[in-house]
Amino acid sequence: MTSVLSPDNPELLAGIYQLYRDFFDLAERKRRWSLTDDIPWDQCNRGIDPAIADVVESFCAVELYLPDYVAKALPMIRANKGWAWFHANWGYEESKHSLALGDWLLRSGMRSEEQMADLEGQVFAHEWNLPHDSPSGMLIYAMVQELATWVHYRNLRRRVDELGDPALSGLLGLITVDERAHHAFYRSVVQMFLRLDRQETLEQLRRVLLTFSMPAVHMLADGRRRMEAIKRLDIFDEDIFLHEVYQPILTVLGVNHQELRHKRTVRKSAPAAASGPLPS
């Protein structure tokens, strides 16, 4: 039995395409920015706390897995134009985030060309794999991950503003707007999922929220140290996830904790829901 949440469902084909066109048109009118012209690169703070640079480098490393993020998910959704086109557009915007973070590390003098090449070599030595094996599961994961990423960048920007670096603050501001827009798109699709098959969507949402982790940081050789640095600067931890990601998502989706905790009983004749274990 084919799931109604399959990308080729006619309702999803029409609904997601309209969401994508609305997203794209708004981005073209109000949200596109220039890596060259819209960041005050001459105002980099070359004396900023090295701990900030370490976190920026961690975020840059996560963004460098972009080829895997795009290539691994796209075959699952290529039959749905709006879904696939959004994913391609998402990849374009995330590539700008990666370039901006890397450029700041170089322009601020916090990293050398050789150090950036070493970082890229470390990243490209390992492949990132999908944490969920269904298109709907991955989209729900992306909805959660994009909000968590927005929180990361917003909180890092707050630390930067305390120390002073108009260039880094400016580029982080641009990135946070993008990340919030990505989350809003995914959230609208999940709301569509809930209308089509509430129980299946809740099962996927439960699995994502209860096993969530940000992509790729753990794959780096010093991933544990990087995650601890993020916690020390109060950028992201378990409590922040609970209060600024988990609870707001349930509230906006109209899902209560009891409903989410109720695990669906799967009949033997029904197909099992997809199972699964954090740029960007």
Q: What is the reported pLDDT for 187?
A: 98
Q: Percentage of residues in the chain with pLDDT exceeding 70?
A: 91
Q: What is the reported pLDDT for 94?
A: 96
pLDDT in tens, 203-222: 999 999 998 988 766 656 67
Q: What is the reported pLDDT for 267?
A: 37
Predicted confidence band at 26 (pLDDT cuts at 50, 70, 90)? very high
Q: What is the reported pLDDT for 214?
A: 83
Q: Which of 136, 133, 137 is nearest to 7 (CA)?
A: 136
Distance of CA 4 to the CA centre of its chain: 25
Mean pLDDT of the chain: 90
Predicted confidence band at 84 (pLDDT cuts at 50, 70, 90)? very high
Residue located via tokens 């997809």:
274
What single-letter amino acid sits at 231?
K
pLDDT in tens, 150-201: 999 999 999 999 999 999 999 999 999 999 999 999 999 999 999 999 999 9
CA distance 278 to 63: 10
Question: What's the average model confidence in pLDDT over 259-280?
Answer: 45
Query: 179 and 153 in contact (C-beta within 8 Å)?
Result: yes
Flag whether pLDDT at 255 surpasses 60: yes
CA distance 226 to 119: 13
Predicted confidence band at 276 (pLDDT cuts at 50, 70, 90)? very low
Fold that domain 12-29+40-261 belongs to in CATH: Ribonucleotide Reductase, subunit A (1.10.620)
Q: Which of 160, 179, 166, 151 is nearest to 38 (CA)?
A: 166
Q: What is the reported pLDDT for 82?
A: 98
Whole-prediction pTM: 0.91
CA distance 78 to 57: 32
